[in-house]
Structures are given as structure tokens and as C-alpha cells.
């Protein structure tokens, strides 16, 4: 009888582990992990950061600059003329630093489709 009891405990433990794993994956996917990614070449991208299985930004945005180096607006990566899908796979060696965005950031609203207009940017913001 103890053989069956141990087998039942083992099966219950495995099922509990699977349920916990699926729950954690679901919770982490539902979480809003929006970040600004600053690259060593001076480009800045914004989006939902994922680290597994590869470092990537989904629904990526970038700053658009005019000829004077001032920010003129925000563009969606998927809307550029060569029509990528909107996901950027990042090379860890090319990243200068990563910064989380506040949930009240206008960029988060644009990423989530809550705001369609261009955000207002400081007129003296210069591209690094």
C-alpha cells in the first residue's frame, strides 16, 4: 500500500509543479514590462521586453529626428517601409543600458494602442 501512496504523492507533486509553472508563465506574459533600450550606436527603442528564450522587444517604437537632431515624433517599428513584424531581437553586446518605462508614460499608451497621436517631446532633445 505504501508503494501506491508514494506514487500518488509523486503524481500530485508533478501536477502541482506543472500548474505552478503554467501560472508563472501566464502571469509574466500578462505583466506590462515596457522598457527603453539604449543601444551603443545611439538608437533608442521602446517596447515590451522579453528575455526568454531570446532578448527581444515586441511592439517596438523608435524616436524620429529631424535634420537638426531634434525629436520630431515617434514611429512604430512595424510601420517602416520594409514592413517588419514589429519585434526586434536584441544583441546583448549592442545594449548600452535598459530602463523601465512608467505605466503612466505616453509611450506605453501608444504601444498599447490607447493613444494614436504623436507624443509631445521637448524641443531641445538631441539624439546621442
- pTM for the predicted model, two decimal places: 0.63
Q: What is the mean pLDDT of the chain?
A: 80
- Tell me the residue ranges of DSSP E strands in the chain: 34-39, 44-50, 56-65, 71-76, 88-89, 95-100
Q: Quickly state the pLDDT bin for 120 (edges 50, 70, 90).
A: very low
Query: Does residue 126 surpass a pLDDT of 50?
Result: no
Q: What is the pLDDT of residues 12-24, one digit of tens each?
A: 999 999 998 887 7
Amino acid at each position: 500500500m505504501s508503494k501506491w501512496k508514494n506514487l500518488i504523492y509523486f503524481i500530485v507533486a508533478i501536477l502541482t509543479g506543472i500548474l505552478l509553472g503554467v501560472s508563472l508563465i501566464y502571469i509574466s506574459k500578462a505583466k506590462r514590462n515596457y522598457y527603453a533600450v539604449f543601444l551603443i550606436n545611439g538608437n533608442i527603442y521602446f517596447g515590451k521586453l522579453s528575455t526568454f528564450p531570446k532578448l527581444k522587444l515586441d511592439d517596438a517604437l523608435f524616436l524620429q529626428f529631424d535634420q537638426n537632431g531634434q525629436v520630431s515624433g515617434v514611429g512604430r517599428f512595424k510601420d517602416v517601409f520594409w514592413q517588419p513584424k514589429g519585434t526586434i531581437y536584441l544583441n546583448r553586446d549592442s545594449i548600452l543600458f535598459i530602463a523601465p518605462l512608467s505605466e503612466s508614460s505616453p509611450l506605453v499608451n501608444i504601444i498599447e494602442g490607447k493613444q494614436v497621436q504623436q507624443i509631445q517631446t521637448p524641443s531641445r532633445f538631441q539624439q546621442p
